[in-house]
Amino acid sequence: MKRLTLASAVSFVILAMAANAEGWTVTDLGSVDERAECMRLAEATVDTYRSSYGGDGFTGRSEWTLGGYDLRGEVVDALIICPIEAGLVAPFLIVYNSDSDNEARETVATRLSDIWDQQVAGGAPAATPSGSK
């Protein structure tokens, strides 16, 4: 039942984004032992992104998702989802844009994924703003 509910929730999120967004990027973020750790990493990732690259948006949270909104103006948003699969948390990142600037979306997705990887490795993020979208 849990698996069906998770699959339904993920399908709903992706379908809703497809209806409202020009494009999206989905990235597997590996696995984490505990959901609380996944959510901590998600928040640290979005906070680090904002401190490094700007973005006056807001962060929305649920028990197992964290959304970073307005990461590039009002058109690029990200969602880090922390579902439990086979006893481990299997986080993934969805970045979507509502304009036609898919290159900017890919840049945001890459930056968030790199920051996540640095957080998991325990290192301080070495983000250097390049001034690109």
pLDDT the model gives residue 94:
97
Residue 41 lies in a domain: yes
pLDDT the model gives residue 55:
76
Burial of residue 31, with CB atoms counted within 10 A of its CB: 0-12 exposed, 13-18 middle, 19 or more buried: middle
Residue 16 lies in a domain: yes
Residue 59 lies in a domain: yes
What lies within 8 Å, CB to CB, of 39 at 6+ separation is 61, 64, 66, 82
Q: For residue 58, name the pLDDT band (cuts at 50, 70, 90).
A: very high
Whether the per-residue pLDDT at 5 is higher than 90: the answer is no
pLDDT the model gives residue 129:
44
d(CA 58, CA 50): 10
What is the tens place of the pLDDT at every residue in 65-111?
A: 999 999 988 889 999 999 999 899 999 999 999 999 899 999 999 99
pLDDT the model gives residue 16:
44
Q: For residue 2, name the pLDDT band (cuts at 50, 70, 90).
A: very low
Task: Give the CATH number of the domain where residue 98 resides.
Answer: 3.30.310
Q: How many domains does the chain have?
A: 1
Residue 74 lies in a domain: yes
Residue 132 lies in a domain: no
pLDDT the model gives residue 47:
95
Residue 70 lies in a domain: yes
Q: How far apart are the first and last CA of the chain?
A: 42
pLDDT the model gives residue 10:
52
Asked whether the CA dihedral 78, 68, 66, 86 is positive or negative, the reply is: positive
Q: Which residues pair with 79 in a beta bridge?
A: 67, 94
Q: What is the chain's mean pLDDT, rounded?
A: 83
Count Cβ atoms below 10 Å from residue 2 Cβ, excluding itself.
9
Quote the pTM value.
0.76
Residue 68 lies in a domain: yes
- For residue 25, what are the domain limits? 2-121
Q: What percent of the chain has pLDDT over 90?
A: 64
d(CA 42, CA 27): 13
Residue 126 lies in a domain: no
